Amino acid sequence: MASVEVEKLSEHLLKCPICLETYTTPKVLPCLHTFCRHCLQGLIHSGENTIICPTCRCEVSVPKDGVGALSTNFFINNMLDFLSVAKSNSNPVVCTNCEEQNRATSRCIECMEFLCAQCVAAHRRTRMTKEHEVIALGDLQAQKEVQEKLHRPLMCTVHERDVLKYFCETCDEPVCRECLIIDHREHHYGYLKDVDKRHRSEVGVLVMNTKKRIGPLKEAIEKVAETRQKLDCKLEEVRQQVMQNCKRCREVIEEREEEILTQVNNIYRMKSKTLEIQLDELEMMLGNLNSSIEFTESLLRHGNEAEVMIVKKQMTQRLHDLNNVKVEYMPLEDDLIDYTFSTDEFRKAIEHIGDVKVYHAYPPYCFATGVGIHRAKAGLEAVFLVTTKDRMNEIYSGRGEPIRVEIAPPEGDPVPTFVIDNDDGTYTISYQPIVRGTHQVKITMRNINIHGSPFSVNVTGRMDFGKVGKIMACFGCEGAGGGEFSMPWGVAIDDENHYLIVTDCNNHRVQVFDFEGTFIFKFGSEGTEKGQFKSPKGVARAPNGHIMVADCNNHRIQVFNEDGRFIRTFGSYGVERPGLMNHPCGVECTAGELVIVSEQDNHRVQLFNMNGEPVRQFGAQGFSKGQFIYPHHVCVNQRGRIIVADCVNDRVQVFDMEGKYLSDFGKEGSQNGLFDGPEGVACDDEDNILVCDYHNHRIQVFDSNGEFVSAFGAFGEDEGCFKNPCGIAVTKEGSIIVVDSGNNRIQVF
């Protein structure tokens, strides 16, 4: 047993974190934190059967038999015994074998008891114990090799008298001899001492691997502490900014107050002066009137004829003059100085004092999706979507997050990017690369990379359909063996496993090949049972890797895993009612987890969810827009448009995901842009539409608007020629896979 510093041992290992006393009956929780049994008992609230660990806050279920059934920390018990022996000189150990509380002098290794001198003597006299190994405490202190004997033997919890000597590898637990015979007889087991080294090594390796997390955790703690410190600084900085700006606002308000008061005072002085002048004039006029009237009345009352007549002319003239004076009886100014104040307008104005912005999105949880984050075409706009999540890993529906996108081409200047805030927590990013090669796309929020950033985007050149015609691979022939066909019909691409999945219609099976045409495996046989087929036609690969097969003459869709193991089926024969089928021919899966099925004899298209439950349907028998005569294959372009080969109407029709008719192109004929029984349809990543022109034995290419681009192939058996091409698909690298049905082969261009 390795030597231990007693003081450190006592302080760090042997004191309960709850009561801060030396452990009594130490119990260890699944989180590896140890507490006294009675302390844990005190943590259980009435009516509850859980304990919250005081150290790590982990919730622990209490066993049915109570806290006592929790694992005992035998290591702590042994350390307590070691501590008792080590300190026995200064802190005497009490005999645990009797009730006399005498000082212990020795320890019985078998009984695991501290014994006083009397009990040692009794131990050696008693028949059952006289052969026990009793060692004096002084010897245990002095001899380190003897200290190993302090370890208490672990007893079986089922057979309490039996020691745990074996280890069941099957059950990964120590067992006693009785348990081994009764419950573990057929299990792989060994002696504890024999398996100990290997398991110690395994645990040691696990400890080393676990220690590797300490460094990143310490760095994280430093970063969090640093961020907290920066947050404190930012708090004071923003507080100062707010106070300074509001102080300036108050100064502006005070300045405006002075301006308004000055304006009011000026208006007052002007009005007051006008009224003052008017008042003086009116008072002067009143004085003139009173004095003239008084003089005239006095003269008329007291003067004789001569006196009156002498001043008559003068009085008359004066009174006429006073009566002719124009007087403004109304005040020349009013008493109104109105001041209006709009609280609402003021509130609106002070809203512009500033906004406090906090960002809820947590960059490590935010992610990017879409074709544009994986691949792009030089000279074409590429688009992807960034979805933000908060610190609870929930989709954040807010707006205004500072997203920065930097795209570095293999050489030259960075590619300009455009970010559109969709106001729902998502952001649409678009860019148009110029050169080919690997571009590094770095997406950050507040200088922190989102999940997966930086991304590597492979930018390739645009497809030159005028140069299509060179055969990259050609495989298959007529037959029933692996890699042979009898009227192959549809093809789907598994880009993850680099597989081509082909329906072998008249062999009633599905075959899987690699991209070079090497046969990998097949599944299915003729029949009506689960996993069997009758003329399988369309095939598609779902986003979750499942393979969807249009089991045409069984009127159903069958679902298999990527290894060809049957999972489920949906659909049965019927007309009109949603979910029923009549010769399903084409099948396609969308990124939004919808399954699109074209029904040949119901002349319609149905949409299902991934569980096979009908979602909607559109189309009916007829020649008008949105109607079909034997619709065959179906595909979906990058914009979510549904492309349907309307076979007997010799046209291709385009719908949105709701089934609304959008456009169509083509009519019967053999010239470019015309069809004679269009069958397979596929779209590349530029939304060009490739169509198998069945009876014209060629492939025609149209742009996303249905305008003819080019055609390749002719009737024949040579490579590059076709006999009734039926199925078609395009890999993400741009390879074109054609099911050359009449020639019972697959051609890759």
CA atoms within 13 A on the CB side of 194: 8
Tokens at 747, concatenated: 């051609």
Give backbone dihedrals phi and psi of 509, rounded to 5 degrees, phi first: -160, 175
pTM of the model: 0.51
Task: Using the CB atoms, write b or e for 530-558: b if 16+ within 10 Å.
Answer: ebbbebbbbbbbbeeebbbbbbbbbbbbb
In this predicted structure, the answer to whether residue 12 has a pLDDT above a threshold of 80 is no
**Residue holding tokens 């005040």?**
331
DSSP state at residue 180: H
State the maximum Cα–Cα separation within the chain, in Å, rounded to a whole number.
175
In this predicted structure, the answer to whether residue 19 has a pLDDT above a threshold of 80 is yes
Calpha distance 727→736 (Å, rounded):
11
Beta bridge partners of 175: 166
Q: Mean pLDDT across the stretch 44-71?
A: 81
Tokens at 561, concatenated: 């895993």
Residue pLDDT, tens place only, 485-494 = 999 999 999 8
Give backbone dihedrals phi and psi of 562, rounded to 5 degrees, phi first: -70, -15
Task: Please give the distance of CA 567 from its chain centroid, rounded to a whole number.
Answer: 28
Per-position DSSP letters for 244-256, written without gaps between them = HHHHHHHHHHHHH
Tokens at 280, concatenated: 């003086």
Chain length of the chain: 749
Residue pLDDT, tens place only, 596-645 = 999 999 999 999 998 899 999 999 999 999 999 999 999 998 888 999 99
Residue pLDDT, tens place only, 232-290 = 898 888 888 888 888 888 888 889 889 989 999 998 999 899 889 989 888 888 888 89
For residue 285, which amino acid is it? M
DSSP state at residue 411: S
Calpha distance 546→54 (Å, rounded):
47
Is the Cβ–Cβ distance between 511 and 482 less than 8 Å?
A: yes
Average pLDDT, the chain: 86
pLDDT score recorded for residue 4: 47
Long-range contacts of 621-625 (CB under 8 A, 24+ apart): 623/649, 625/653, 625/661, 625/664
For residue 386, which amino acid is it? V
Is the Cβ–Cβ distance between 654 and 664 less than 8 Å?
A: yes
In this predicted structure, the answer to whether residue 88 has a pLDDT above a threshold of 70 is no
Instruction: Give the three-state DSSP class for 181.
Output: helix
Beta bridge partners of 485: 478
